[in-house]
Protein backbone atom coordinates (compact mmCIF):
# COMPACT_ATOMS: atom_id res chain seq x y z
CA UNK A 1 0.00 0.00 0.00
CA UNK A 2 2.69 2.51 0.98
CA UNK A 3 4.81 1.71 -2.06
CA UNK A 4 1.74 2.07 -4.28
CA UNK A 5 1.03 5.55 -2.95
CA UNK A 6 4.67 6.49 -3.41
CA UNK A 7 4.67 5.31 -7.04
CA UNK A 8 1.54 7.33 -7.72
CA UNK A 9 2.96 10.52 -6.24
CA UNK A 10 4.27 11.62 -9.65
CA UNK A 11 7.14 14.03 -10.17
CA UNK A 12 7.99 14.91 -6.59
CA UNK A 13 11.01 17.06 -5.89
CA UNK A 14 14.09 14.91 -5.21
CA UNK A 15 14.72 16.08 -1.60
CA UNK A 16 11.08 15.37 -0.75
CA UNK A 17 11.30 11.94 -2.38
CA UNK A 18 14.38 11.20 -0.29
CA UNK A 19 12.56 12.20 2.90
CA UNK A 20 9.59 10.03 2.02
CA UNK A 21 11.83 7.07 1.15
CA UNK A 22 13.51 7.44 4.53
CA UNK A 23 10.13 7.39 6.28
CA UNK A 24 9.21 4.27 4.32
CA UNK A 25 12.38 2.52 5.49
CA UNK A 26 11.78 3.54 9.09
CA UNK A 27 8.18 2.38 8.85
CA UNK A 28 9.33 -1.14 7.95
CA UNK A 29 11.61 -1.28 11.00
CA UNK A 30 9.37 0.36 13.62
CA UNK A 31 6.36 -0.77 15.63
CA UNK A 32 3.11 -0.42 13.67
CA UNK A 33 1.73 2.22 16.03
CA UNK A 34 3.49 5.18 17.61
CA UNK A 35 1.65 7.59 19.89
CA UNK A 36 -1.63 6.69 18.21
CA UNK A 37 -0.47 7.40 14.64
CA UNK A 38 0.61 4.64 12.28
CA UNK A 39 3.79 4.88 10.25
CA UNK A 40 1.64 4.55 7.14
CA UNK A 41 -0.37 7.58 8.20
CA UNK A 42 2.87 9.51 8.58
CA UNK A 43 4.04 8.42 5.13
CA UNK A 44 0.77 9.34 3.45
CA UNK A 45 0.89 12.71 5.19
CA UNK A 46 4.37 13.33 3.75
CA UNK A 47 3.23 12.37 0.25
CA UNK A 48 0.22 14.71 0.44
CA UNK A 49 2.52 17.55 1.48
CA UNK A 50 4.84 16.75 -1.42
CA UNK A 51 2.20 16.67 -4.13
CA UNK A 52 0.69 19.88 -2.77
CA UNK A 53 4.05 21.66 -2.97
CA UNK A 54 4.37 20.44 -6.58
CA UNK A 55 0.85 21.68 -7.41
CA UNK A 56 -0.19 18.27 -8.74
CA UNK A 57 -3.97 17.92 -8.66
CA UNK A 58 -3.92 14.59 -10.54
CA UNK A 59 -1.59 13.04 -7.98
CA UNK A 60 -3.63 14.48 -5.13
CA UNK A 61 -6.74 12.80 -6.56
CA UNK A 62 -4.81 9.55 -7.02
CA UNK A 63 -3.78 9.54 -3.35
CA UNK A 64 -7.36 10.41 -2.39
CA UNK A 65 -8.59 7.26 -4.18
CA UNK A 66 -5.91 5.11 -2.54
CA UNK A 67 -6.84 6.44 0.88
CA UNK A 68 -10.54 5.84 0.28
CA UNK A 69 -9.95 2.25 -0.83
CA UNK A 70 -7.30 1.10 1.61
CA UNK A 71 -6.87 3.32 4.66
CA UNK A 72 -10.48 3.98 5.61
CA UNK A 73 -9.33 7.19 7.30
CA UNK A 74 -7.53 5.45 10.17
CA UNK A 75 -6.84 8.96 11.44
CA UNK A 76 -8.83 12.05 10.60
CA UNK A 77 -5.80 14.22 10.01
CA UNK A 78 -5.16 12.48 6.65
CA UNK A 79 -8.60 13.49 5.44
CA UNK A 80 -8.06 17.00 6.80
CA UNK A 81 -4.77 17.21 4.92
CA UNK A 82 -6.40 16.16 1.66
CA UNK A 83 -9.06 18.85 2.10
CA UNK A 84 -6.35 21.45 2.70
CA UNK A 85 -4.36 20.18 -0.30
CA UNK A 86 -7.31 20.56 -2.65
CA UNK A 87 -7.96 24.09 -1.39
CA UNK A 88 -4.30 25.08 -1.74
CA UNK A 89 -4.40 23.82 -5.32
CA UNK A 90 -7.56 25.81 -6.00
CA UNK A 91 -9.99 22.92 -6.42
CA UNK A 92 -12.85 23.95 -4.18
CA UNK A 93 -15.32 21.33 -5.43
CA UNK A 94 -12.88 18.49 -4.74
CA UNK A 95 -12.19 19.92 -1.27
CA UNK A 96 -15.89 20.11 -0.46
CA UNK A 97 -16.50 16.57 -1.73
CA UNK A 98 -13.57 15.31 0.32
CA UNK A 99 -14.85 17.13 3.40
CA UNK A 100 -18.31 15.60 2.95
CA UNK A 101 -16.71 12.14 2.91
CA UNK A 102 -15.03 12.60 6.29
CA UNK A 103 -16.80 10.28 8.75
CA UNK A 104 -15.97 12.23 11.90
CA UNK A 105 -15.72 15.97 11.36
CA UNK A 106 -14.45 17.44 14.60
CA UNK A 107 -13.46 21.00 15.43
CA UNK A 108 -9.99 20.47 13.93
CA UNK A 109 -11.59 19.38 10.65
CA UNK A 110 -13.87 22.41 10.51
CA UNK A 111 -11.06 24.80 11.41
CA UNK A 112 -8.85 23.29 8.72
CA UNK A 113 -11.69 23.64 6.19
CA UNK A 114 -12.32 27.29 7.09
CA UNK A 115 -8.59 28.07 7.14
CA UNK A 116 -8.19 26.63 3.65
CA UNK A 117 -10.76 29.05 2.27
CA UNK A 118 -9.25 31.90 4.27
CA UNK A 119 -5.81 31.36 2.75
CA UNK A 120 -7.39 31.84 -0.66
CA UNK A 121 -9.25 34.99 0.42
CA UNK A 122 -12.56 33.18 -0.16
CA UNK A 123 -14.70 34.92 2.44
CA UNK A 124 -17.98 33.61 1.05
CA UNK A 125 -17.05 29.96 1.52
CA UNK A 126 -15.44 30.76 4.89
CA UNK A 127 -18.81 32.05 6.07
CA UNK A 128 -20.69 29.13 4.49
CA UNK A 129 -18.46 26.65 6.32
CA UNK A 130 -18.78 28.60 9.57
CA UNK A 131 -22.58 28.63 9.29
CA UNK A 132 -22.67 24.91 8.51
CA UNK A 133 -20.45 24.19 11.50
CA UNK A 134 -22.83 26.04 13.81
CA UNK A 135 -26.13 24.87 12.33
CA UNK A 136 -25.44 21.29 11.28
CA UNK A 137 -23.11 20.01 13.96
CA UNK A 138 -23.32 22.31 16.96
CA UNK A 139 -19.52 22.34 17.20
CA UNK A 140 -18.42 25.39 19.19
CA UNK A 141 -16.04 27.84 17.54
CA UNK A 142 -12.68 28.59 19.11
CA UNK A 143 -9.66 30.75 18.34
CA UNK A 144 -8.69 28.48 15.44
CA UNK A 145 -12.10 29.15 13.88
CA UNK A 146 -12.29 32.89 14.46
CA UNK A 147 -8.78 33.92 13.37
CA UNK A 148 -9.09 32.66 9.76
CA UNK A 149 -12.56 34.21 9.48
CA UNK A 150 -11.23 37.62 10.51
CA UNK A 151 -8.18 37.18 8.26
CA UNK A 152 -10.50 36.58 5.30
CA UNK A 153 -12.39 39.76 6.20
CA UNK A 154 -9.08 41.63 6.27
CA UNK A 155 -8.08 40.25 2.87
CA UNK A 156 -11.38 41.34 1.30
CA UNK A 157 -11.73 44.56 3.35
CA UNK A 158 -15.12 43.32 4.58
CA UNK A 159 -15.41 45.64 7.58
CA UNK A 160 -19.12 44.98 8.12
CA UNK A 161 -18.66 41.22 8.35
CA UNK A 162 -15.54 41.57 10.49
CA UNK A 163 -17.49 43.80 12.87
CA UNK A 164 -20.26 41.19 12.99
CA UNK A 165 -17.75 38.47 13.89
CA UNK A 166 -16.34 40.73 16.62
CA UNK A 167 -19.88 41.10 17.95
CA UNK A 168 -20.38 37.33 17.77
CA UNK A 169 -17.29 36.84 19.93
CA UNK A 170 -18.62 39.21 22.56
CA UNK A 171 -22.24 38.05 22.39
CA UNK A 172 -21.44 34.41 23.01
CA UNK A 173 -18.98 35.11 25.79
CA UNK A 174 -15.88 33.94 23.96
CA UNK A 175 -12.74 35.18 25.60
CA UNK A 176 -11.03 37.83 23.50
CA UNK A 177 -7.74 35.99 23.20
CA UNK A 178 -4.71 38.10 22.36
CA UNK A 179 -4.31 36.45 18.96
CA UNK A 180 -7.93 37.28 18.10
CA UNK A 181 -7.49 40.86 19.30
CA UNK A 182 -4.38 41.24 17.15
CA UNK A 183 -6.08 40.08 13.94
CA UNK A 184 -9.06 42.33 14.73
CA UNK A 185 -6.71 45.32 15.05
CA UNK A 186 -5.27 44.42 11.67
CA UNK A 187 -8.74 43.99 10.15
CA UNK A 188 -10.09 47.29 11.47
CA UNK A 189 -6.97 49.22 10.51
CA UNK A 190 -6.62 47.84 6.99
CA UNK A 191 -10.34 48.43 6.42
CA UNK A 192 -9.81 52.11 7.25
CA UNK A 193 -11.45 52.10 10.67
CA UNK A 194 -8.48 53.37 12.68
CA UNK A 195 -10.61 54.40 15.64
CA UNK A 196 -11.78 50.80 15.97
CA UNK A 197 -8.23 49.51 15.73
CA UNK A 198 -6.96 52.00 18.31
CA UNK A 199 -9.86 51.40 20.68
CA UNK A 200 -9.33 47.66 20.60
CA UNK A 201 -5.59 48.07 21.11
CA UNK A 202 -6.11 50.27 24.16
CA UNK A 203 -8.43 47.63 25.64
CA UNK A 204 -5.70 44.97 25.61
CA UNK A 205 -4.32 44.69 29.17
CA UNK A 206 -0.80 43.73 28.10
CA UNK A 207 -0.15 44.11 24.36
CA UNK A 208 2.55 41.83 22.96
CA UNK A 209 4.99 42.52 20.13
CA UNK A 210 2.44 41.45 17.51
CA UNK A 211 -0.10 43.88 18.99
CA UNK A 212 2.35 46.77 18.80
CA UNK A 213 3.48 45.84 15.29
CA UNK A 214 -0.14 45.65 14.13
CA UNK A 215 -1.19 49.03 15.50
CA UNK A 216 1.98 50.68 14.16
CA UNK A 217 1.54 49.07 10.74
CA UNK A 218 -2.10 50.01 10.21
CA UNK A 219 -1.38 53.67 10.98
CA UNK A 220 1.68 53.86 8.76
CA UNK A 221 0.00 51.98 5.90
CA UNK A 222 -3.11 54.15 5.98
CA UNK A 223 -1.25 57.45 5.77
CA UNK A 224 -0.88 58.21 9.47
CA UNK A 225 2.91 57.84 9.98
CA UNK A 226 3.04 60.32 12.88
CA UNK A 227 0.59 58.23 14.88
CA UNK A 228 2.53 55.10 13.97
CA UNK A 229 5.75 56.63 15.28
CA UNK A 230 3.90 57.62 18.43
CA UNK A 231 2.90 54.00 19.04
CA UNK A 232 6.48 52.92 18.33
CA UNK A 233 7.78 55.31 21.01
CA UNK A 234 5.17 54.00 23.43
CA UNK A 235 6.21 50.42 22.70
CA UNK A 236 9.83 51.21 23.54
CA UNK A 237 8.77 52.88 26.79
CA UNK A 238 6.77 49.73 27.60
CA UNK A 239 9.95 47.69 27.26
CA UNK A 240 9.02 46.05 23.95
CA UNK A 241 12.06 45.14 21.88
CA UNK A 242 11.34 45.80 18.19
CA UNK A 243 11.91 43.08 15.63
CA UNK A 244 12.45 43.26 11.89
CA UNK A 245 8.71 43.59 11.30
CA UNK A 246 8.55 46.63 13.56
CA UNK A 247 11.44 48.38 11.85
CA UNK A 248 10.18 47.66 8.33
CA UNK A 249 6.75 48.97 9.25
CA UNK A 250 8.12 52.10 10.88
CA UNK A 251 10.32 52.88 7.90
> 26 and 32 in contact (C-beta within 8 Å)?
no
Pairing relationship of beta strands 33-34 and 37-38 according to DSSP bridges? antiparallel
On whether both 169 and 185 belong to a single domain, the answer is no
> 82 and 101 in contact (C-beta within 8 Å)?
no
- Considering 99, 126, 159, which residue would you say is the last residue of a domain? 99
Q: Give the pLDDT score at 124.
A: 95
On whether both 14 and 85 belong to a single domain, the answer is yes
> 59 and 89 in contact (C-beta within 8 Å)?
no
Domain coverage including residue 169: 105-175
- Considering 44, 77, 99, which residue would you say is the last residue of a domain? 99
How many C-alpha atoms does 108 have within 13 Å on its Cβ side?
A: 9
Q: Give the pLDDT score at 248.
A: 66
Residues found in the chain: 251
On whether both 196 and 169 belong to a single domain, the answer is no
What are the helix (H) ranges across 133-208?
Answer: 143-156, 159-171, 178-190, 194-203
Q: Provide the domain count of the chain.
A: 3
On whether both 16 and 86 belong to a single domain, the answer is yes
On whether both 9 and 91 belong to a single domain, the answer is yes
On whether both 209 and 130 belong to a single domain, the answer is no
On whether both 131 and 112 belong to a single domain, the answer is yes
Q: Give the pLDDT score at 140.
A: 84
**Residues of the chain with confidence (pLDDT) below 50:** 1-6, 8-20, 23-24, 27-37, 40, 54-55, 69, 73-74
On whether both 70 and 131 belong to a single domain, the answer is no
Q: Give per-residue pLDDT as tens, 165-190.
A: 999 998 887 767 899 999 999 999 99
On whether both 84 and 151 belong to a single domain, the answer is no
On whether both 166 and 189 belong to a single domain, the answer is no
> 25 and 70 in contact (C-beta within 8 Å)?
no
On whether both 199 and 128 belong to a single domain, the answer is no
CA–CA separation, 169 vs 9, rounded Å? 42
CA–CA separation, 120 vs 208, rounded Å? 28
| Whether the model pTM is above 0.75 | no
Beta-bridge partner residues of 33: 38
On whether both 190 and 206 belong to a single domain, the answer is yes
- Considering 99, 124, 139, which residue would you say is the last residue of a domain? 99
Amino acid sequence: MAASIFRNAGQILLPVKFAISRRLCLASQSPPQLHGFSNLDSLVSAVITAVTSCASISNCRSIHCKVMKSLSFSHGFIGDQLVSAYLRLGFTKDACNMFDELPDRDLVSWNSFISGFSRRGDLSNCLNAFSAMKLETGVEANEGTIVPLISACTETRALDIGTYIHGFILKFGMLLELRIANVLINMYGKSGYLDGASGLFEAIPIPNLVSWNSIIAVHVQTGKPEEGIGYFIRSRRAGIKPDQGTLITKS
